[in-house]
Amino acid sequence: MTPAPPRKRGRAARQAQPGAVRPPRRPPRRPISFSPAWLCAFVLVAVPVFASELQLRRFTQLLVLVLAVMGVNLITGYAGVFSLGHGVFVGIGAFAMAQLSDDYSLPLLVALPISSLIAGAFGVLLGLPALRIRGVYLALITFGFALAFGPIARRLGTITGGPTGRSVEADFTAPGWMGLGDDQTQLYRYFVCLAVVAMFFVLMINLVNSRVGRSVRALRDGELAAQVFGVNPTMTKTAVFGLSAAMAGAAGALQVFLFPFVSHADFDVFLSLRLYAAAVLGGLGTVVGAIYGVIALIIVPAIGGLVARIDLGALNGFLSFIGSQSVGFGLGLVMLTYFAPDGVAGVVERWRNR
């Protein structure tokens, strides 16, 4: 009589049963990889600690500029609507902030959202032609709006201050319950601007990943196909244009919060072009593209200035010509667009995928 085979236990018994399903293996842990979000968070925390008052003010200006570029990226990168006049909405938000906080003595927490809503309302009015006009024709309309904003603002003396601009005498100091002294006013303004930019940043992330964001991208890729799936192009485009203008208006209101003086010369057509260039350089259709675009606007002119300082004898004249602000910036834009057609965000994504 042959002895019985040993009885299998545990995992071997389950695998020996007929029809038994092998339990899935636990996926291996992914190594901690570099993320630009962690770097941005570290910089935002470290800047108030190590930066001087002047450096902190300049860094706060960059945060406000990121918010304006986010508005351009939303309407152009996600909705596919070419807008060359977003500097106008920055100006509308700035003049509205000056009027509400100075003439009507509204506090910051009230004047700031109202200024953003006013700019958003003008964006909805300007977005109505986007329902029938597309492509370069809509870009020309927004560009003409940017050209006409300066002469119109000069004639609205009671609101804009006329040709010389207007000073804002509102009190933007830190409230007493925060415990900040008079020498820490710039720190208070930094955290206020950081909170507003972070709020819009989170709003944009949730928007582009929601059903509305998918509808916007569907309209960008094919409007007829999007209508077949139930997307309303009228409501979607108008709402996105209004939200994009509201972001730019909030940036203008924060600019008045930082510097209590506003003039129409600060919102010329070149501001709209710089905002559009920053959105393209950073990467259209990406949330972090606004941050990369603002960084590119700083680095490209700085490289041109460094090139002009190189001592190469007979080439100094040519290098000083390249290193000038306008020529160096233009050549830097051309080179960066040629070598990074997807923007800086595309380069960073390809580097991370490796």
Residue 7 has pLDDT above 50, yes or no: yes
Residue among 50, 157, 42, 135 at smallest CA distance from 84: 135
Residue 244 has pLDDT above 80, yes or no: yes
> Which residues have a Cβ under 8 Å from the Cβ of 258 and sit 6 or more positions away?
57, 60, 61, 64, 189, 193
pLDDT for 65 equals 94
Mean pLDDT, all residues of the chain: 80
pLDDT for 13 equals 53
165: left (phi over 0), alpha (psi -120 to 50) or beta: left
> Which residues have a Cβ under 8 Å from the Cβ of 125 and sit 6 or more positions away?
none
Query: pLDDT > 90: what percent of the chain?
Result: 27
Its pTM stands at: 0.82
pLDDT for 31 equals 47
**DSSP codes joined into one string, 171-234:** --PPPGGGT--GGGHHHHHHHHHHHHHHHHHHHHHHHHTSHHHHHHHHHHH-HHHHHHTT--HH
* Tens digits of residue pLDDT in 148-172: 998 999 988 888 888 888 988 887 8
Using alpha carbons only, give the angle 69, 280, 255 rounded to the nearest 5 degrees.
20
Cβ neighbours of 327 (radius 10 Å)? 14
Name the residue with tokens 């042959």.
2
pLDDT, greater one: 347 or 272: 272
The domain segmentation of the chain, as residue ranges, is 52-167+187-287, 297-354
Q: Which residues pair with 166 in a beta bridge?
A: 262
| 31 SS3 class | coil
| 243 alpha-carbon distance from chain centroid | 12
Give the pLDDT band of residue 32 (cuts 50, 70, 90): very low
pLDDT for 174 equals 79
CA separation for the pair 242, 127 (Å, rounded)? 7
Give the pLDDT band of residue 232 (cuts 50, 70, 90): confident
In this structure, of 76-90, 151-165, 318-332, the range with the lowest mean pLDDT score is 318-332
pLDDT for 199 equals 94
